[in-house]
Amino acid sequence: MSINRRWSATWFANYRGQTGQWAQLLHRVTGLLIVVFLLAHIADTSLIGFGAGVYDGWEALYQNRIVRIFELLLVGTVIYHALNGIRVTIVDFWEKGSLYHERIFWGMVVLFFVLFGPSVWLMLFVNP
Amino acid sequence: MLYAATSARAKSSNFELWSWLFMRISGVALLLLVLIHLAIMHLFQPISNVTFDFVAGRWSIPAWRWYDLGLLWLALIHGMNGARIVSDDYIHGRVARLVTMTTLYVVGFVFLLVGSQVILSFQPTSTP
């Protein structure tokens, strides 16, 4: 704990481990973005208690083109956070995980595009 | 002073160990819950389909209410705990820490309560 504090004097660099460091920074940034959206999403869903008029009025916001782009970025953000979380969990629980963390990272990058590519296609062209 | 207080807590309880374990277990559960939620709500139908009537139909099936309730609890606790861990690393001032932690706990608790209440009490017939 105290080691963490001392190192974090260099702002974000809790440790210097190349891909792992950037993966962790991105994990934190995406995590915070998702939790901010989650709070907004709980608020907008709660409007359903006020009836169809109020709820549908606010949900129409999601059909706005600019909001749609943010929604697409949100999907990418969630996919990254999920895949990197799995990587961290593998490294934590598999005894050889720390030996392969970098290889797993690049595997996850490939998997990211495999999942995000079709998502972009579905959201922009199939169900715009 | 602050270090001493933190290490005293670290010695006297396993809170951070349980927090770490919770993040791994809820993370794996959320991987499925969130990706299925995203696929249904955002990818395989236009977002304009997600209206009051759509949600009313969905929540007429108890299993979907429990699904959404599970998603709400796991995502919100996972997210707020993540925000707590990140804040812990970067916010060092005594007052700033007190304000941040209090805000996180209050916001988390209120959104958990409001979100659960909305999911559990929703009655499509009682609203105009």
Closest CB to A45: pick one of B47, B48, B118: B118
Which chain B residue lies closest to A6 (C-alpha atoms)?
A: B89
Q: What is the CATH number of domain A26-126?
A: 1.20.1300
Q: Do A31 and B28 touch (CB under 8 A)?
A: no
Establish, for the pair of chains A and B, how many residue pairs have beta carbons separated by less than 8 Å: 112
Stretches in chain A below the pLDDT threshold 70: 1-17
Give pLDDT, residue A31. 95
Q: Using the Cα atoms of residue A87, residue A89, residue A94 and residue A95 in order, give the sign of their dihedral.
A: positive
Whether residue B43 lies within 8 A of chain A, CB to CB, comes out as: yes
- Do the beta carbons of residue B111 and residue A42 sit within 8 Å? yes
Structural domains in chain B, CATH included, are 2-126 (1.20.1300.10)
Greatest Cα-to-Cα distance within chain B, rounded to the nearest angstrom: 58
**Interface predicted TM-score (ipTM):** 0.85
B80: which chain A residues are within 8 Å (Cβ-Cβ)? 35
Give A102→chain B minimum CA distance, Å. 19
Which chain A residue lies closest to B92 (C-alpha atoms)?
A: A5
A12: which chain B residues are within 8 Å (Cβ-Cβ)? 90
Give pLDDT, residue A7. 46
pLDDT digits (tens, 9 = 90+) for B3-18: 545 555 556 788 999 9
pLDDT digits (tens, 9 = 90+) for B22-48: 999 999 999 999 999 999 988 888 888
- Do the beta carbons of residue A82 and residue B37 sit within 8 Å? no
- Do the beta carbons of residue B108 and residue B77 sit within 8 Å? yes
On the question of pLDDT at B1 being above 50, the answer is no
Whether residue A123 lies within 8 A of chain B, CB to CB, comes out as: yes
DSSP string, chain A: -HHHHHHGGGTT-SS--THHHHHHHHHHHHHHHHHHHHHHHHHHHHGGGG-HHHHHHHHGGGGSHHHHHHHHHHHHHHHHHHHHHHHHHHHHHSTTHHHHHHHHHHHHHHHHHHHHHHHHHIIIII--
Give pLDDT, residue B123. 85
Closest CB to A35: pick one of B72, B83, B118: B83
Report the distance separating Cα A9 and Cα A121, nearest Å. Answer: 42
Closest CB to B51: pick one of A43, A59, A122: A59
Angle (CA) A72 A82 B44, round 5°: 40
Higher pLDDT, A15 or B67: B67
pLDDT over 70 percentage in chain B: 88
B42: which chain A residues are within 8 Å (Cβ-Cβ)? 71, 75, 123
Report the distance separating Cα B7 and Cα B12, nearest Å. Answer: 8
For the question of whether the overall pTM of this predicted structure is more than 0.90, the answer is no
Give B68→chain A minimum CA distance, Å. 11
Q: Do A52 and B111 touch (CB under 8 A)?
A: no
